[in-house]
A and B are shown apart, each in its own frame.
Chain A
């Protein structure tokens, strides 16, 4: 069965701390990978995506993620978080050769950054 696992449900950090959010997927084929973010009171928006090529991808607001195929992982990182990074983060995948661009999401990680 297709699934996405996010290991941390709730993370609390102080400003300037480093962030790493885990994401693993289970899928019987090649996938595209995404991280979405939902800031308080706002809609889901794309943070970054990986389709092919360099497994280290950079997104908006200083975020990056690394695709490790052998580990079926796509962890999100940021060297130094800010209070404004407080949000819920979702990892998602879709099938490269799928009939549609349907997304399969993880359960999300709620990040709280303390000033």
Chain B
């Protein structure tokens, strides 16, 4: 039973570029959440997707956008990259969006912006 997978593992971009990160949820899960973890910080919630719609969004600018596909996989897009976007981006999946639905995390994508 595959857990949450993310690609790529590492990515290096320059300021102003755009990036797309991908996530496949744990088998049977229908909800995907994205988090940003800056160095020395805890993960911060970016947004959550369920039924191919953004259900809740954290305090991130519109440069951060996402998508969920019919097979429940998801993409995170970041436009006009800034140096401050350098971080580990985590994807988490769950079966449902209720507070008691446990989230399972992927290994993350390490994004470096130069």
A-to-B contact residues, CB < 8 Å = 4, 6, 32, 36, 42-46, 49, 51, 90, 92, 94-108
Contact = CB atoms under 8 A, between A and B. Distances in A.
23 contacts: A42-B107, A43-B107, A43-B108, A44-B43, A46-B102, A49-B102, A90-B42, A90-B43, A97-B99, A99-B97, A100-B55, A100-B97, A101-B48, A101-B97, A101-B98, A101-B99, A102-B48, A103-B33, A103-B35, A105-B43, A107-B40, A107-B41, A108-B40
Interface of B: 3-4, 31, 33, 35, 40-45, 48, 50, 55-56, 58, 90, 92, 94, 96-103, 105-108
Contacts of B106: 43
Q: Among B40, B43, B56, which residue has the most Cβ atoms of chain A within 10 A?
A: B43
Q: Among A95, A99, A101, A108, which residue has the most Cβ atoms of chain B within 10 A?
A: A101
B77 to A, nearest CB: 20
B7 to A, nearest CB: 14
B42 A4 contact: yes
A104 B107 contact: no
B70 to A, nearest CB: 20
The 6 A-B residue pairs with the shortest CB-CB distance in the complex, in nearest-first order:
A105-B42, A44-B105, A100-B56, A43-B107, A100-B97, A102-B45
Contacts of A46: 102
Nearest to B58: A102
